[in-house]
Structure 1
Amino acid sequence: MDPITHAASGAVAMLAMPHRPASRWAVPLAALAAASPDMDVAFAHTPLQFLLLHRGITHSLAAAPLLGLVFALAGYTLWRPKTAQHWRFAKTWLFMTAMILLHIWLDCITTYGTMILQPFSDMRIRLNAVFIIDLLLTLPLLWAVWRWRARRGLLLLAVAWMFVYPAISIGLNAWHTAQTRDNLAAQGRAPQNIVVLPDAFSPFFWRALYTEATPRGLMVCAQGLTALGQPHGPETTAPALPESLARDLARQSVAARAFLQFTLLPVVAPLPADMLPGDMLPGDSTSAVQPADAPSPSYIMVHDQRFGTSLALVRSIMAMRPSADIPFKYMAELAPAPATAELDTPSADSSQESGKAAAPALDAAPAHTQRLLRERMRFSDSRRDSLWQAPRPPTQPGLLQWLVGLR
């Protein structure tokens, strides 16, 4: 969820409290606490760190009381005896912890995925209820802060709206999923891994992603939906990333593993010419990292259909971004692996997450058929780019993998 919504949620929560401390810092401190878990982006300087840190430990249930304690201590004005209607320290701590948990809730209802169980698990929770920017959620909160500051009854309704509206959207998501399955079955189609996502201007528009076996191979299909569950706009398709290639990448690179665990139904495409390594220009047949007599490497781009839209107006607005591009993408330089290639990297269990289809069994095969020579991750909106580099083999999962991003 965007920072404005997070800050407004904290402000509304404080304004709705009975007998709140008579301090001019009360509402700003609540807004800051509700937005604070996103401070993790300040420590993420590379794409890998961004994947491992953002919506990670600062968004976890285990860390919520600790962050709440920090803001309770910083909010001394709320519990100092000289403040009129001051709270006790324990109440301040409880309130600030609640603000952290409110942030976690608002992030979980989006499609990005939040690792609320860190440091014990990297499982991402996504409820696919609201778009990353949802005016129907944000505007009532801003209105409440602006116009209802002295009307506690209406403020309580605004607090309830932060839970009722996502709950309604979760129900609509389940209904759209069933509708999509029935509509495709009526066409004689057998889709797999149906995932329904809120589109811009949800709950009036949605998107359905699903895989389908075709004569061209397994494809990831995307179809816009109206509020009534009817198809909206043309269906688009893209080749699904083969599970065997996903295993090869994840077992040779910690970056690839983290990226694939982040994605929903990843797709693969040839790498555009302007993204090729500087020492591999279009038309060249060799790479600087390979012997001259080695087979020519191939280049692929893996990305996620999750962050697209079926609405032409929204696409035109997104194209106006300073770094308009696919938001998250992973690029790889590959070469056929020797037939006897064996992997000795430790394995990790694939995670299951809410709203996500079963992830490929990344550690199921004993050997890989594609050797990863170099890789690159580029996150256009955050302007993080690893540039081309040799892959780093995976380490143990969980907290140790989190620490890899800090080295």
Structure 2
Amino acid sequence: MDSITQAVLGASIQGAMLGRWQGRKALLCGAMLGTLPDLDVVIDYGDAVAQMTYHRGFSHSLFVLSGAALLLTWLVRRWRPNPGYTGARMLLTIWLILVTHTLLDSFTSYGTQLLWPLTSPPIAWASIFIIDPLYTLPLLGAVLVGAVIGLGNKGLRWQYGALGLSSLYLAFTLAGQQMAEHRVQQALTRDGIQAEAMFSTPTPFNSLLWRVIVLDGERYHEVLVSWLDPQPPALQSLPRGLHWRESLRDSPQHARLEWFSRGILRYDRIGDQLVVTDLRMGMAGYHPFRFPMAEWRDDQWQPIAWVERRPMQRSDTARLLTLWQRIWNPQENVPVMAWAEELRR
């Protein structure tokens, strides 16, 4: 999730757990601690694929963060002891702030390596968009109220209420995901398609309209599903370019990206470059993670040693408006096929 969300989540947790003794300082300390795992962004891992796939790695590991919580608790109790609460309460507070950060990241589509250093693929439950005002605003409101009126009984109730409300909202997003996948499965059964894999995630800034990717051999199907749709959706079939994958068999970056994304990739030849797109994030025609991984030289594809990310297209408010209208109107035409054609250039 975005840094503001992580900060207000951490602030609200520490406010609820230690605000009675620390006062408003709990909000500031919790906000700082809530963003700690994301400091790995300052590390230079290498090329663009490495930067993408090593982010949310060791610094988001449940094992590492549990150890960090123990260390931080020991340091705080040694240098800034407070007789008002126990070391166990301090440990639980720090551990909850760090672990909820990485768990919340796992609810997005990016991928979080919760079990690092184990080599299992990153976890991406993908039930919430990386920026979702309905999740963030209750927490932000509670933190602002706590900062104004303090963390007495009334201020604490705001923290408890916001944390409960945000947790219920996460449960609602999981229900929406199940709804979307169930309706898409109905459409697949109707059309006699056996899916190789399915990936579902909400469209930008909401949890009402869902985008479902279905892998089907050389093609994939991109489907939009709203809570208000009266019947299973129509499938829109797009070329996946899977036949290009063999050209990247000697590319370590491609192997890493395929592991990271669980193979939910698209391949396009653009000029003399072979471009690989992570389909999980963004929208048809607007995907933030696209990488030229091979060049056509001397009558053959040669892997690019240092991979850079292709420049991302600017956000298009007209498309966001189209998606917003699609939430409420199943008949709204969303030109997914036309948008996806932009991936060829």
TM-score range, shorter chain: 0.7 to 0.9
Range with bigger deviation, 231-240 or 1-10: 231-240
Distance 1:231 1:196 in 2: 18
Contact 1:301–1:329 (CA under 8 A) maintained in structure 2: yes
Contact 1:40–1:55 (CA under 8 A) maintained in structure 2: yes
Please provide the CA RMSD for this pair: 3.2
Q: Tell me if 1:104 matches 2:34.
A: no
Q: Which residue of structure 2 aligns with residue 372 of structure 1? A: 302
SS at match of 2:118: coil
Contact 2:277–2:291 (CA under 8 A) maintained in structure 1: yes
Distance 2:287 2:19 in 1: 48
The structure 1 residue matched to 2:278, chosen from 301, 304, 316, is 304
Instruction: Render the CA deviation track for 1:166-203: whole Å, top value 9, x for unaligned.
Output: 22221221221111111243345554423221112432
TM-score by length of 2: 0.76
Q: Which residue of structure 1 aligns with residue 198 of structure 2? A: 194
Q: Which residue of structure 1 aligns with residue 59 of structure 2? A: 58
Q: Which residue of structure 2 aligns with residue 269 of structure 1? A: 268
Q: Which residue of structure 2 aligns with residue 68 of structure 1? A: 69
Contact 1:109–1:128 (CA under 8 A) maintained in structure 2: yes
Q: Which residue of structure 2 aligns with residue 283 of structure 1? A: none
One-letter code aligned to 2:302: L
Contact 1:335–1:371 (CA under 8 A) maintained in structure 2: yes
Q: Which residue of structure 2 aligns with residue 128 of structure 1? A: 126
Q: Offset at 1:133?
A: 0.6
Q: Offset at 1:36?
A: 0.8
Q: Which residue of structure 1 aligns with residue 163 of structure 2? A: 159
Q: Offset at 1:304?
A: 2.0
Instruction: Render the CA deviation track for 1:114-165: whole Å, top value 9, x for unaligned.
Output: 1111112242111111011111100111111122553323421222233322
* Paired-residue identity, %: 23
TM-score by length of 1: 0.65
Distance 1:380 1:39 in 2: 24
> Structure 1 residues 231, 337: CA separation in 2 closer, same or farther (over 3 Å shift)?
farther
Distance 1:202 1:78 in 2: 44
One-letter code aligned to 2:137: L
SS at match of 2:4: helix
Range with bigger deviation, 226-235 or 53-62: 226-235
Instruction: Render the CA deviation track for 1:317-375: whole Å, top value 9, x for unaligned.
Output: xxxxxxxx74111213356999xxxxxxxxxxxxxxxxxxxxxxxxxxxxxxx753425
> Structure 1 residues 175, 23: CA separation in 2 closer, same or farther (over 3 Å shift)?
closer
Q: Offset at 1:57?
A: 0.5
SS at match of 1:153: helix
One-letter code aligned to 1:155: Q
Q: Which entry has the higher C-alpha Rg, 1 or 2?
A: 1
Structure with more helix by fraction: 2
Q: Which residue of structure 2 aligns with residue 29 of structure 1? A: 29
Q: Offset at 1:61?
A: 1.0
Instruction: Render the CA deviation track for 1:5-34: whole Å, top value 9, x for unaligned.
Output: 100001111222266433553221111111
One-letter code aligned to 1:254: P
Q: Which residue of structure 2 aligns with residue 328 of structure 1? A: 289
Q: Offset at 1:80?
A: 2.1
Distance 2:60 2:310 in 1: 21
Query: Structure 2: which 5+ residue stretches go unaligned?
Result: 313-345
How many pairs align? Answer: 303
Distance 2:130 2:191 in 1: 32
